[in-house]
Structure 1
Amino acid sequence: MHFGKPILLVFITFYAGSAVKAQYKEPEKKDKIETFYPKVPFDSLQAKQMLAKGKATIKGVAFTKPKSKWGFKVGQRIYANQIKITLFPVTPYLESWYALRKEKENLKKSRYVYLSNDAYRYRLEAITNSDGEFTFPNMKPGKYFLQGFLGYTHYGTYNEYTGSGYNSYGGQTDYYQQKTYSVDHEDRIEEFVEIKQDGEIVRLKLN
């Protein structure tokens, strides 16, 4: 259904000889969501060969830290408990996707860069335990990109003003009550890793 431009309506009510006009407020404009895909052709045969079974192992631990008001990660680790870690082979297509994401998403929050459906099919997945640990066994030598999304809740306290009164000295006293608040976050944790020799064990911190 298509609607035209909003119509400004003015209501006039007479009360004690005065007129009151209702004010129309324009709706807030949101940035239009833009989506992008790499233009490099995806080679499914290459991706399939890179994900063929080998004798190497990737062992990792996934975690994040709360962010300060300046955007830096500080404090104790928050381990990824039962989240999915996805592994992609680093093909020319994925390298193009990663470079495009850095270019587009950093400029605007309403921009998103996606893998094609064909490229997304060629992946491996693992689930972390309660300590954030995960394993990808039977890997071949090569470069891989690992990614997970770790959600957590930050709790804090603040003092809410509840009123004021006069004390016994005639001065005014302000009263406050401590209250708690919570803010939900989701961090995108990711890392590139390289297996150089068949049979080796590569250890990784994903944060």
Structure 2
Amino acid sequence: MLTVSGHYEVYMKTMEQIMAGNLDYIPIMPKVNPWGAALGIAILMMLIMMKVGFTIYCMNICHFRNAGLGNLFDGFAIFFKSLWLHILMFAFVYLWSLLLIVPGIIAAYRYRMALYIMLDNPQLSAMECIRASKEMMDGRKGELFVLDLSFLGWYLLAAFPFVTIWVTPYTSVTYTNYYIALRDMPVSEYDLQI
């Protein structure tokens, strides 16, 4: 039986295949190209390493050390450790987000300093960096949230590409200085804040 448009037969054939468990037949779910997926994962890993390198660059600037474009590739020297750190942070934030959005946001703020801690203390494992970040951010998540809100106008302006060239380094160096301020805070003063 065909309708005027002739889609009834195609629809019924698709439904029969779905009911039979043949999910490959669903036209909405195309097959994934393995080469495309591999390329996407490789690009994602490269971007993570460039982010690590940019964080190293910002830390060098904030510590008044020699900083240059070569720092962007320094993340590749600690490839597996920084990749594992990012995978763990993503997994923890994702799992907290399954409960509700707010716990996921809180978890993201809790783990935000883990990369800085890893770069300052290369002897620590990824889990130790995450634990140290949780301790460092205890009682400080609201403060960092307010810092994020202060950049809201800049992020809106960053919709224009030429503004992004200035906003990204500005915010990144600010977050790096925030980490350095927390790290250098005396223990007694830090305990009073919590």
What TM-score, normalized to structure 2? 0.22
Which is richer in helix? 2
What TM-score, normalized to structure 1? 0.21
Which is richer in strand? 1
Greater gyration radius: 1
